[in-house]
């Protein structure tokens, strides 16, 4: 028997390993439910913001390069989209909103705009900001941050933070 098979055989009776497997499975079920919930609520938020900015077809007017940390959304801006989005972010009075990981020219898109907006409420996605196209390409950590940092979600933040802490152990 190979050493990896022997190690796996030993682990099957290890309470710590069995607990880890149970938590992993629970997080997988939780993340699937969170993804479905996030889609529903973010599409709802997208519709609300679209109406608030003047209806379909109204675009972000800021000029910036996606992926660059310095961009016009963080400061004083006349962009109605940025102004509206700040209202739903818990960091609305700070420049901590990760504007750099969202493509503002897609915010008005009726199909993908909701998830470009969602990226503004996630922790730093790093190089993954371009591959985070929808809830199913998003890790559960940034997904939990979406629910924490977006005040459109009416969820007990203490519970979400506890789940995040357990996940990160």
φ, ψ dihedrals at 89, nearest 5°:
-100, 135
CB 149 within 8 A of CB 97: no
C-beta atoms surrounding 8 within 10 Å: 12
DSSP letter assigned to residue 150: B
How many domains does the chain divide into?
1
Residue 97 burial (10 A CB sphere; 0-12, 13-18, 19+): buried
In a domain, 26, yes or no: no
Here the tokens at position 27 are 């997080």
In a domain, 161, yes or no: yes
In a domain, 83, yes or no: yes
The residue range of the domain holding 163 is 32-168
Cα separation, 46 vs 9, whole angstroms:
50
In a domain, 6, yes or no: no
In a domain, 160, yes or no: yes
Mind listing the pLDDT tens digit for each residue in 3-57?
A: 665 666 667 778 888 887 887 788 788 888 889 999 999 999 999 999 999 988 8
DSSP letter assigned to residue 58: P
Model confidence, pTM: 0.77
CA dihedral in degrees (114, 119, 120, 125; nearest 10)?
-170
In a domain, 63, yes or no: yes
Among 94-98, 119-123, 136-140, which stretch is predicted with the lowest mean pLDDT? Answer: 94-98
């Amino acid at each position: 028997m190979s050493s990896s098979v022997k190690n796996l055989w030993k682990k099957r009776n290890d309470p710590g390993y069995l607990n880890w497997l149970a938590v992993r499975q629970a997080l997988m079920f939780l993340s699937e439910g969170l993804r479905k919930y996030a889609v529903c609520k973010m599409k709802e938020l997208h519709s609300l913001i679209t109406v608030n900015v003047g209806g379909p077809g109204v675009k972000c007017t800021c000029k910036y390069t996606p992926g660059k940390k310095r961009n016009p959304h963080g400061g004083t801006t006349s962009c109605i989209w940025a102004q509206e989005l700040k209202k739903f972010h818990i960091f609305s009075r700070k420049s901590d909103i990760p504007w750099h990981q969202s493509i503002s020219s897609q915010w008005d898109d009726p199909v993908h705009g909701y998830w470009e907006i969602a990226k503004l409420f996630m922790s730093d996605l790093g190089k993954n900001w371009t591959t985070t196209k929808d809830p199913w390409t998003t890790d559960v950590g940034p997904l939990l941050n979406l629910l924490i940092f977006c005040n459109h979600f009416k969820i007990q933040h203490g519970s979400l933070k506890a789940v995040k802490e357990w996940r990160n152990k």
